[in-house]
Amino acid sequence: MSLLRQRGQADSGKVGMVELFFDLVFVFAVTQLSHTLLKKLDAQGALQVGQLFMATWWVWIYTVWATNWFDPEKKSVRAALFALLVAGLLMSVSIPRAFTDMGWLFGASILVQQVGRTLAMLAASRGEDAALRCNFVRIALWLGASGALWLAGGLAPPESRMAWWLGALAVDMLGPVMFYFVPGLGRSTLADWNVDGSHMAERCALFVIIALGESLLVTGATFADLAFDPLTVLAFLLAVVGSILMWWLYFDHGLEQGHHRIVHSQTPGRHARNNYTYLHIPIVAGIIVGAVGDELVLSHPHHGSPAALAAIIGGQLLFLCGTAVFKWLAHTRAWPPLSHLLGIALLLVLGVLSTVLHLSPLLATGACVAVLLLVAVWESCVLR
């Protein structure tokens, strides 16, 4: 009996409960990432957490592709997801110490998830289309190469770990762009990436919800431990409104446009790669960095370091840049939305002013929220 999803049915792209259960691991992972960045808020810490985030993202998005091809309602596919869940928990546990004494566990869990999943896909596709199986062989070879680098970096001394893992990330990033070219096997084609667009759009939207949920969790938990005074309440409200506006900017127009584009495309695999596999990276990263900024403004509304201001403004800037390009490609515009371009320009100016004028975290957060509100109102008025 085939384990592949049946295409063309009314509920063929439905996200299963087991997929949502699997995503709970990544709620934990996102929390670990934001707390790790908060504890080491400097250039080196940002680079390290950036690497860890990228590794986490690639594990998750490859699993999304896998469950787009294979039916998670089948018991053997569920069993594979449960095995990935356990490995993902180990990966998440090791995140705060990945650049100290737990690098081996982080690297090993990446290798097990990436290679193990793809080998399981190969086994499950036995008897299916030869081109699809060859596609999985190419992916397995690329992920085997990157997984070996993740493991080697985890076993290497901490001072050289970043270099090994940069190499691993380079392989991960180049694979889809190169169509997993392998000498002797050639490269995959867009026809091999015949994805269910509705499923892909919904799964990535759910990861955005995970990141936004973590942001609200951090905001609420931090606020609960602080004195109930006017400045703290104002900082809390600004953080919550900022999260609401990010939700609005992504879900009010972006999700609908992206979903329509991929579902009605003749080459959904191209949009799944470009719009969802790559362009959601800055969107989700911006939300995570913004959550760190929210905690900082709640804890220290009056005085903030340059790194704190960079997190407060940089998170919104990352999110808005990613959302602008996502909507641009999803809507086939000549340019990214003008509202978003204006918002990006204003945030860049705000970043310069925060350095020159030494703005307080509270004032910087208020200015960021005002920019997001301007972008949201402009977009809603123009598109309605």
- Whether residue 333 is predicted with pLDDT greater than 90 in this model: the reply is no
332: confidence class by pLDDT, cuts 50, 70, 90: low
Task: Work out the average pLDDT over 366-374.
Answer: 96
Task: Work out the average pLDDT over 296-301.
Answer: 90
- Residue pair 80/113 in contact (Cβ under 8 Å)? The answer is no
- Residue-wise pLDDT for 52-76, tens only, equals 999 999 999 999 999 999 999 999 9
**Which are the contacts of 207, defined by CB distance < 8 A and separation ≥ 6?**
23, 26, 60, 280, 284
Identify which of 288, 263, 286, 297 has the alpha carbon closest to the alpha carbon of residue 340: 286
* pLDDT value for 9: 66
Question: For the residues of 178-226, what is the DSSP string, one character each?
Answer: TTT-BTTTB---GGGG---HHHHHHHHHHHHHHHHHHHHHHHHHHHHTS
- Residue-wise pLDDT for 103-146, tens only, equals 999 999 999 999 999 999 999 888 888 888 999 999 999 999 99
CA–CA distance, 22 with 207 (Å, rounded to integer): 11
* pLDDT value for 336: 86
CA–CA distance, 346 with 156 (Å, rounded to integer): 43
Task: Work out the average pLDDT over 296-313.
Answer: 90
- Residue-wise pLDDT for 258-283, tens only, equals 888 888 888 899 999 999 999 999 99
- Whether residue 384 is predicted with pLDDT greater than 50 in this model: the reply is no
- Residue-wise pLDDT for 208-226, tens only, equals 999 999 899 989 998 998 8
* pLDDT value for 125: 87
25: confidence class by pLDDT, cuts 50, 70, 90: very high
Terminal Cα distance for the chain, rounded = 48
* pLDDT value for 347: 97
* pLDDT value for 303: 83
The mean pLDDT of the chain is: 92
**Considering all CA atoms of the chain, what is the largest pairwise distance in Å, rounded to the nearest integer?**
68
- Phi, psi torsion values for 301, nearest 5 degrees: -70, -25
Tokens 């069993």, residue? 79
- Indicate the pTM of the whole model: 0.94
The fraction of the chain above a pLDDT of 70, given in percent, is: 97
User: For residue 316, what are the CA distances in angstroms to 57, 112, 253, 282?
Assistant: 19, 34, 18, 10
* pLDDT value for 277: 95
* pLDDT value for 5: 84
Which one has a higher pLDDT value, 283 or 10? 283
Task: Work out the average pLDDT over 191-199.
Answer: 88
